[in-house]
Amino acid sequence: MNIPAVPSRSASGFRLTGGKVLAIFIAFFGTIASADALLVTSAFRTWSGLEVASPYQASQRYNEELRLARRQGERGWHLESRTEREGSDGLVVAVTLRDRHGQPLGDRRLRARLERPTDKRGDLTIALAETTPGDYVAHLDAVSAGQWDLVVDVLSADGDDYRRKSRIVLR
């Protein structure tokens, strides 16, 4: 019985050589490396990974942040925020500020921001105006859809601010 060990050519005439295996190998891993490079470049351009400019300095202020959070809780203030689409891409931001007894807190300076959780370059500053005591409203012309953090600061004369941060999803 005569059985050839390795056929030299297939019926179609294709022969797998070392050069072809090398080309397949390079094409496969080249595709993987190109996709990885594209994704890494895109990730670095859209988000640096930093929440603050200097994480070390932010860590040094941690105890102060805890003290301010305790004082904020002791005040018993209630801040409610609402957002509503105005037209196709406009936005109305309404904020209501009350004390622990439900009385409106008027004549306060409020500062608000819409922050993108993943890209700080898209953050928007909001100018809130008091319409009635304790009620503040702002109208924004063009706000894109997606997830946002609405950060509202009530600025006080003694330096103790009141902050409320909430995640919203705009459609």
pLDDT band at residue 53 using 50, 70 and 90 as cut-offs? confident
Which of 21-25, 50-54, 62-66, 70-74 shows the lowest mean pLDDT across its residues?
50-54
Tell me what pLDDT residue 59 has.
87
The pLDDT mean for the chain works out to: 89
Tell me what pLDDT residue 127 has.
93
The answer to whether the pTM exceeds 0.75 is: no
Tell me what pLDDT residue 54 has.
83
Whole-number Å distance between alpha carbons of 45 and 21? 36
- Ordered domains of the chain (ranges, CATH): 77-170 (2.60.40.1930)
Averaged pLDDT for residues 133-160:
90
pLDDT band at residue 48 using 50, 70 and 90 as cut-offs? low
Q: Rounded to the nearest 5 degrees, what angle is found at the Cα of 118, between the Cα atoms of 116 and 120?
A: 55
How far is CA 11 from each of CA 7, 8, 14, 162, rounded to the nearest angstrom?
Answer: 10, 10, 8, 80
Q: How far is the first Cα of the chain from the last one, in angstroms, to the nearest whole number?
A: 76
pLDDT digits (tens, 9 = 90+) for 96-142: 999 999 999 999 999 999 999 877 888 999 999 999 999 999 999 99
Enter the DSSP assignment of 104. Answer: B
Model confidence at 4: pLDDT above 70: no
Q: Highest mean pLDDT range out of 55-69, 111-125, 128-142, 149-163?
A: 128-142
